[in-house]
Amino acid sequence: MRLVALLLAVLASPAAFARVLEPAGTAASSTEAPDQGVSYDVKNIVDGKAGTVWVEGEEGSGLGSWVRIDLKGQQTVDAIRIWNGNWYTWDFWKRHNRAKEIEVEFSDGSKEHFTLADEFKPEVIKLSKPVKTTFVKLKIKSVYNGTTFNDTCLSEVQVLNSEPDENIPVVRYNASSIYPADNDGTYEPANVADGLLDSMWCENDKDGDGTGEWLEFDFGRPTEVSRLVLRNGNAYSFKMFMKGNRAKAATLTFSDGSTEQVAIKPSMVEQVVSFPPHTTRTVRVTFTEVSRGTEYNDLCISEAYFRK
């Protein structure tokens, strides 16, 4: 029974196995002009941030507008993950149009049609079969209307390939506490594995700075690990990074109770934390030292992956 349950858990989260194909470029049918220094360029859909947005520049709701993501040569695409609408904030999301029906076109001329959910959460659309293509083009066929602006937005689009990569798939995350969702979104532990720098896990210790809080990775089966790849703090921007707490040291606790102490750089760039190899089903990362931010006294981690 346990094996069956485990397989179901794995099948239920295809995104856990999906790697994001690196874009080589982007194009769009039209783009809204920048406003007060804020760009709505189509580059924003592949910049690793939900809070930066492409807005079509047509009169009306932008039906027929499209965005294209060019890949590095021909790649196999299995799925696409979309942050639909304007993710700058929840309020902005409601006020702008979201794409409803989309046509997805590939370089071999094939097309697939999807109806997206109208929800403030990322959506994975799975292709009926893998496609070898040099680009993915999304055309907006209908929209969900925003309450204020008749402009259709996409915040982020990840083109996915389901072949495993170096990052060990996680079937379940646990955490000592989770900061409640607010106007910017959720702070769920799984946010450390979505490829976005402005989505993160944050702890919810009301008085403390995050020291003693933990994040646990469950691989579902014994797996060898020796590296933790990390984007510390709120990695959206240097300004946001400085405002919040960052980790400086942690204890890694493995399934058999053994531990390793590791130092973590209080830096927003990607870092690889190496430690002696352990074969384990879970790793609990307990933060033992924290660097305080200037404004928010909550520890956040933007991205975190274990590797062999």
Under the rule (CB under 5 A), what is the footprint of Ca ion?
44, 47, 49, 52, 155-156, 191, 194, 196, 199, 302-303
Distance CA 96, CA 86 (A): 6
User: Is the CB of 41 or the CB of 289 nearer to Ca ion?
Assistant: 41
For 142-178, give one letter per residue: b (16+ CB within 10 A) or e. ebbebeebebbbbbbbbbbbbeeeebbbbbebebbbb
Query: Shortest gap between Cβ of 44 and Ca ion (angstroms)?
Result: 4
The token pair that represents 91 in the structure block: 């309020």
User: Is the CB of 36 or the CB of 128 nearer to Ca ion?
Assistant: 36
Query: Shortest gap between Cβ of 67 and Ca ion (angstroms)?
Result: 11
User: Is the CB of 232 or the CB of 302 nearer to Ca ion?
Assistant: 302
**Pairing of β 101-106 and β 152-161:** unpaired
Query: Shortest gap between Cβ of 219 and Ca ion (angstroms)?
Result: 19
Query: Shortest gap between Cβ of 110 and Ca ion (angstroms)?
Result: 27
User: Is the CB of 61 or the CB of 86 nearer to Ca ion?
Assistant: 86
**Pairing of β 214-232 and β 271-291:** antiparallel
Distance CA 2, CA 171 (A): 14
DSSP for residue 199: -
Query: Shortest gap between Cβ of 201 and Ca ion (angstroms)?
Result: 8
Q: 154 pairs with which residues across the strands?
A: 54, 84
User: Is the CB of 44 or the CB of 167 nearer to Ca ion?
Assistant: 44
